[in-house]
Structures are given as C-alpha cells and as structure tokens.
Structure 1
C-alpha cells in the first residue's frame, strides 16, 4: 500500500455453491434480502431449489432467535455436505453483471471498516439489530454491499486488473430470473493484487446499497476489536464499482403504509398538499409524478386508483423540516415525506410494522391493495445530490435511494471462522 488513508480491500477464500450439488446456480441465487418481497418472494425462492440462499439470508421461523440459529445450522450443514465449498486460495473476485446495453463490473473483497466509506442514509435500528444477530450467529457475510468510488476511468489501476481478468475463463456464469447475466473470476496473482492496493489507497467510497449491513459490520467489529489484517470481523464483504467506468443507476425506494387506508390518508392531508386524482395504469401515473414540480408523491391503494400530492404548504414545511441542514437536504422528497407527512400529518411511526420499503413500484401498489393500505411512490434522487450530501457529512432519510444494479446473492459468500 502506498497510503493508509484510502480503501483497503483484502482477498478472502470465497465460499461458493458446488455446481453438481444444486439444480442450477440460477435456482439458488436471490436478490438482496431487503429486495425480496415477503412472504411471497421468500416462498418462490424456497421452492426454486432446496439449497436456495434465501434460507440463509431470510430464514423462516416463529421468532428471531430461532431464525438466526436455523440459518447458522443450515450453513454448517451445507458446508459439511459439500453443497457450499471454499475456494483453494484467497482471492479478490471480479464480478460482471449485464443486461441488454447495461454493463457493470467491480471487485468483491473484504474491505477494512475503518477506511473512508461515506454513508448517505440513516438506518433503522431494528433492522441493524436483526442483521447483526444473524451475522453473529452464523459468523458469515452472506451478501456483498454495493459501494461506488471514482477511479481513473481509463483502464488503469483496479479497472485494468478487472479487464485483464476478463481474458481468462470465468469461475461461473449464470443468468438470473430478472434477465441479468452474471460472471465471476478470481484474482490471486500478487502483482495484480498489489495493483488494486495501490489504486484504492487514494480512493474513498460511497455506500450505494447496504447501509444496514455496513452498520451491522461496524457493530460486530466493536464486539470483536482488532486489526483488519488479522481480524476477520474488522472487514466486511463488499462489491466495489468504479463509477467513472461504470456509472450506477439510481432509482427510488417506495413506501407502503399497511395500516393507513388511502381515504384516511387523503382526509388527513387536508389542505397541506394539493391533491389530484391521476389516471392509470401505473406507468402513466408515474409519468405524472415525474412531471410534477417541487416535492410530489403518488399515492395508491391498488392498480385502479392513484392520487398525486404536490405543492406542499409552505407553513407546514417551515414548521416540520429541520433548519440545521443544507438546502439540498431540506428539499428532498424523502425529507418532506418523513418530516411533514409521516411524522406530522399522518403520525405514522418509522417502524417495520408500520412502514414497508419496496424497490418496485408495482410491488408497492400490490402490497397496498393486499393490506388495504396506501402505497407512497417516490422519485429517484440524482447521484450528484447523494454524493454532495455524503461528502458534507449529511445523511439522507433512510431508504431514500436504490442504486443498482445490485449484486445477486449466493454467487460468493464469506465465512469468518476460517477466513484466510
């Protein structure tokens, strides 16, 4: 390393599915835990293959302690049976995702937790506690976070290492249900690993996806102090993507309020926002949301009913939105939603039992209809705004953004009890 002030990405012995023990790699992979729609998505994945990774990331049992213990026992059993097997040598893993004209490549490794990594969103304590209990019990990182950094963008440094790896046969290749093709390579050559070290030594990273898992890594490191070179708990599994080479996509994350019917939500709004019905279907209603000036939200109780909220009352915003934050933060749709609507108008607690966060607008509308509640559909935040606030040390409201494409879960795992 030429510096200790940048990112330090360590190779590790990846734990991967043995192809001859599963029906297919596609059948055992999953979206990240917080993208899986529960319970329907969990059931779908569980029936895809008896060894689907969802049994580790979202185990099903009556209480949390049993769920976490069940996941740990399942991991131990699959390792003992050879369903999951470690690679022979520590490696950094080149990971490629592609679909149509979209291409993303990055490096998967064990990142030291005390490096310059910028969060941009708040987290939900209950989710961090649940993830920490799961990782603590299993002593494993099941899925990589998605981090972005601004590299050379010219084929040098870590990007050059990635592109040279592409000239060799991949460890695996599969296409998942969402149409994304995935390929993975192992980088073990000391000279190539040193090139990655030298490049990342002057970089900082932005957490694109995985704030709760990053907070979980930090909590567990606090329980297991020690240097990242020798202590596996001082590092966490991440995918690092050079956004100068492969710009990430930014999408919105939507809310479902299962206990607030749409009529009650609209009655509560009163004159605080302008309220207008808009015509479906969903794509047309979302287009109306995109065209709305200023802060705006699309409410829905199902695929037949949509209402647009915009033009918030200035006095309401003045009374509810914090003044000690930059104007860019005060003007975020998520800030206005949580400060003015959820906290003040609707009095809905930001708790998993009261608010669900879904990445797909269609899933959000479907869940609202299923529970007789309200879907609040959002617009994405530009990446430049996210990075601007992160560099200023200002965190956005939780679940403000969805960066992607997200890494598939199940292609490579990391265990902490025998990491090399």
Structure 2
C-alpha cells in the first residue's frame, strides 16, 4: 500500500510568503526583523510571538497563537496564497535540487530501532519545540512547513527530469540567491508515475524531526513532506555557542577525560573530523577527541561532544537554554564575533557529519545526536501548505 499521497486541499504561494524555517535562525531578533521587512513572510505565522506586534505586547508563543491564525487568514483573503485541490508539487531549488511536495502517512514513522515503518526519524528532539509545533498545527488546522525526507534509493530524480513542466506556479529567491520553483501536478499518469517513484525504500528525515513528531502528537494521519533523492542534498557543519562557560573548567575537564588540548594561533575554523575547535577569550584551541567505541552513532564527533563536554565536563543537558545550536548558514567567523562581543562565552566548532555516516546510522535505525546535520539546500516554508481539515482523503477534483 502506498505511503505517499497527493494533497487533497492546499494552498500555493503567489510569491511573497516563502521564508526560512523557524529553526534556521541563531537569534529570535532576526525573525522579528525579517517579519518587519517582509510582513507576508510565513515566519509571522510559524513564530507568531516574534512578530513586531507580539513582541511589543509581550506575548509568549501560546499567547500569540491567535495572531498566527489571523495572519494566515489574512494571507488567504489577500490572495497571497491560492487554493488548489488533489495535487502534488514538483520542487526545484537552484540547478541541482529536485524533489516533490506530497503527504506521507504518519503511521510509517518508525518509533525506534527495530520498529516497523519506512520513515526514519533519526535525531533526538527538544520536547518544548515539539509542543509548540503541535499547538500551532492544532490552532491553524494547516501544515505550513514541510518535513524534508531523503530517499536512499530509487529512480525519483529520473522521473522528475522526464516531466515537461513549463512555467512554474511560483518562484521565490532565498537569502543565498537560490531560486525556488514550484509546479503543481494534478491527477494523471505523470503524477502517478512520480509518486510511485518516490514511494520506494526507506525515507530518512533530513530536516523536520520536530515537525514530523508534532504531526503525530496532533493526531494527524499524514504530514506534509518534501521527498528528495539523496544526491540532491549535502550536509554542512552544525556548531554550538555557550552563553556561560568557565574556560579553565572546560580545558581541565577535557584533558582529564583523555582529550588532547592545544592553544593555536589564528581565528577559529571548521576542523577536520576527530578534532573540535574551541574559541574563548580571544584564543583558539584545538581539541583532539578521545577515541570512541560502539556504533557509528556512538563514534560521531557530535555524540562525543554531547557526552564529554556538555554532560560530563559542564554538567548540562543538551536542551539547556544556555546552549545555542548554530546551523551551517553561519560561518566560523560569525561564531567568533559572538564570543568577541560578549554575547557568548564559548564557541564549539565541529566537522560536518558525512553523508555516508548519516546513511549508516539511519540504516542501523540508530539515533543521531541533537542538531548534528544541517542539510542544504533548505526547503522554504510557506510555498505549499496543506489543510488538515480535509481529513487527508484524496478527492476526485483537480485544481
């Protein structure tokens, strides 16, 4: 039985609502600034407490949920989002990324190692973020942001490249200058062939672990996804900033745990695998991690840092609010500048996880450490939306 389906009732952007996802920002103030400059941005819906009006009123996320509903309704009323029925959407980013928007059965999400399900959610999550996403789904009755699923095998790209698409329904340019293009594809042989090609093998959650779990907790039978061939995406570094840290405690603790610590000249840079770079008080340190044993997941640099530095040396849990997780859009120089400006005490730079290790961890049905894979390019939120009130039962109608 197929696990992938057309979207029975949805909306496609007319060109102004596309935005970075809510979790792509290092500082919430950046979200407020972006929504101020781009009031139709879907960020105003996804992060309603960070809109200029909500910030001025001192609203928290729960208190701002009515703002989210009002903003989304306004976008639809003004024609910023156009309705469609019974369609998937072909999605291209730049020259190389080619995928499709569709719905995927939540019942296919494997609940853990050894559990059934073709959708592998591979990363530890933050309960508070899941709770916010769940509340947003229940309030809006609409899925505004897709989960990125990577297909490990199959012929999806070949089938997508066969399509004669013509003019896209919407285009959008992201902060890196990449063009995002979307084509709606209604009932017919082309749609059936593409869905069949996408519905092959295991699908790994590359981006959207919190969103996929929120769809489950909201009681949805299906969630909104972008399904992409593995070769369409790459993994960039995912770094850490700590607001408070005793540098002497950190260095002494790492040495006591068997790590090699050496002060080096120059500004911090993303290191090679097996080495972590620390930056504090204007000084760069190279830390050679102790050799780890166990599974591929156990041997990842991100796992060792979480266990050794965060838990053992600092006595923190990974969800401690003093830790900020900084994705690949922010270079090493930006992290160093945050420390130099006193907005953080310590920058922790790690090598990116390799695609080979990521695939192996997932085929083992093991769990990646939190915030360890920054896949690029990022799917935009607000380009294709799905109505959860449609009960996710395909209709005979078309756009």
**TM value normalised by structure 2:** 0.85
Matched, 1:331 2:299: yes
Equivalent positions of 1:208-223 (< 5 A) are: 208-221=206-219
2:89 matched residue in structure 1: 93
- Cα distance in 2 between the residues matched to 1:76 and 1:247: 34
Partner residue, 1:203? 201
Say whether 1:105 aligns with 2:98: yes
Structure 1 Cα separation of the partners of residues 247 and 39 of structure 2 = 39
Aligned to 1:59: 48
2:141 to 139, 142, 153: 139
Tell me the C-alpha RMSD between the 2 structures.
2.4
Please name the residue that 1:307 is paired with. Answer: 285
**1:274 corresponding residue in structure 2:** 260
Tell me if structure 1 keeps the 8 A contact 2:21–2:43: no
The CA distance in 2 between the partners of 1:187 and 1:138, in whole Å, is: 25
**Counterpart of 1:192?**
190
Whole-Å Cα distance in 1 between the matches of residues 169 and 212 of structure 2?
27
Q: State the distance in 2 between where 1:34 and 1:166 align.
A: 34
SS of the aligned residue for 1:14 comes to: strand
State which drifts further: 34-43 or 50-59: 34-43
Q: Is the 8 A contact 1:53 1:410 kept in 2?
A: yes
Once the two structures are superposed, residues 292-333 of structure 1 have per-residue CA deviations (whole angstroms, 9 ceiling, x without a partner) of 6xx32111237x432111143x7xx6xxxxx8xx43222111
Any gaps of 5 or more consecutive residues in structure 2? 109-117
User: Which range moved further: 75-84 or 113-122?
Assistant: 75-84
What residue number does 2:221 align with? 234
Q: Which one of 153, 157, 169 corresponds to residue 171 of structure 1?
A: 169
Secondary structure in 1 aligned to 2:66?
helix
1:203 is paired with a residue of what secondary structure? Answer: coil
Contact in 1 for aligned 2:88/2:102 (Cα 8 Å): yes
Structure 1's unaligned 5+ residue stretches are 20-24, 222-232, 318-322
Q: Deviations over 1:176-204 (max 9, x none)?
A: 22111111111113212221343344322
Match of 2:375 in 1: 403
Contact 2:185 2:191 in 1 (8 A): yes
Tell me how far 1:33 sits from its aligned partner: 1.2
CA contact (8 A) 1:261 1:301 kept: no
In the alignment, is the contact (CA less than 8 A) between 1:349 and 1:355 conserved in 2?
A: no
CA contact (8 A) 1:262 1:299 kept: no
Paired residue total: 370
| 1:349 to 1:9, Cα distance in 2 relative to 1, 3 A | same
3-state SS of paired residue (1:66)? coil
Q: How does 1:249-328 map to 2 (within 5 A)?
A: 249-272=234-257, 273-282=259-268, 285-286=269-270, 289-290=271-272, 295-301=274-280, 304-312=282-290, 326-328=294-296
For 2:298 and 2:97, locate their aligned partners in 1 and report how far apart those are by CA, in whole Å. Answer: 32
Give a deviation string over 1:233-278, Cα, whole Å, max 9, x none: 21111100122xx342012211111122545533443433222223
How many angstroms does 1:211 deviate by?
0.8
Distance 1:163 1:8 in 2: 19
TM-score (norm 1): 0.81
Which of 8, 30, 40 is matched with 2:29 structurally?
40
Instruction: Determine the structure 2 residue equivalent to 1:228.
Output: none
Equivalent residue in structure 2 for 1:376, among 329, 345, 348: 348
Q: 1:10 to 1:379 in 2, by over 3 A?
A: same
Contact 1:112 1:236 in 2 (8 A): yes
Structure 2 vs 1, CA of residues 208 and 271 (structure 1 numbering), >3 Å: closer, same or farther? Answer: same
Partner of 2:122: 120
In 1, distance between residues paired with 2:9 and 2:162? Answer: 21
What's the secondary structure of 2:20's corresponding residue? coil
Once the 2 structures are TM-superposed, how far is the Cα of residue 34 of structure 1 from its aligned partner? 0.8
**How far apart, in 2, do the equivalents of 1:172 and 1:247 lie?**
20
Q: Which residue of the partner structure matches residue 226 of structure 1?
A: none
Aligned to 1:230: none
